[in-house]
Amino acid sequence: MPKSNPHKKNEGQKRQSKKDKKATRKPVDNPFKDEDELDDDKVFIECPGATIYEPGTRNIIAGVRFYDESNPSKGYEIVANPVYAPEHRGRRLVRKKDINCLRRCQACQDLTVRMVRREGPDFYIPNPKHPKRRQLRSIERNW
């Protein structure tokens, strides 16, 4: 009498092909009406990266330079090479009324601000939202 292998599941049944499995899947509702819109008052922006300034001045040595500082929709150029924060996200969800104020993901904005501070990029400022955090993630300098 042949013994059945206990490790094989559904021994007597045929295996479904990949096409049959795809056909039986339920369609997933996509919450995005459009690729760039989530809500009537929110929109995604693309993050171009951080800006690195020369120490003590406002001269850009690497990263992103916007053509018009007051209007990011006019475009930007990359100086030397692109610089991204360790937690960089390609897109950021913002309100439409803030679209002229915000131009980067939160991580790249924080890196830009950290590099401008006179205390240096690794100086930690305590945050009440994260009371257990004691140090910042170190930055690899490639500029």
Structurally, the chain folds into a number of domains equal to: 1
Q: Is 10 part of a structural domain of the chain?
A: no
- Tens-place pLDDT, residues 34-82: 454 556 788 888 899 999 988 878 889 999 998 888 888 888 899 988 9
Q: Is 74 part of a structural domain of the chain?
A: yes
- Give the per-residue pLDDT at 39: 66
Rg (CA), the chain: 25
Q: Is 143 part of a structural domain of the chain?
A: no
- Tens-place pLDDT, residues 69-79: 888 888 889 99
Q: Is the pTM of this model over 0.85?
A: no
**What's the mean pLDDT in 116-140?**
70
Q: Is 57 part of a structural domain of the chain?
A: yes
Query: What does the alpha-carbon distance between residue 49 and residue 46 come to, in Å, rounded to a whole number?
Result: 9
Burial label, 26 (beta-carbon count in 10 A; 0-12, 13-18, 19+): exposed
Q: Is 122 part of a structural domain of the chain?
A: no
Q: Is 142 part of a structural domain of the chain?
A: no
Q: Is 130 part of a structural domain of the chain?
A: no
Q: Which domain holds residue 97?
A: 31-116
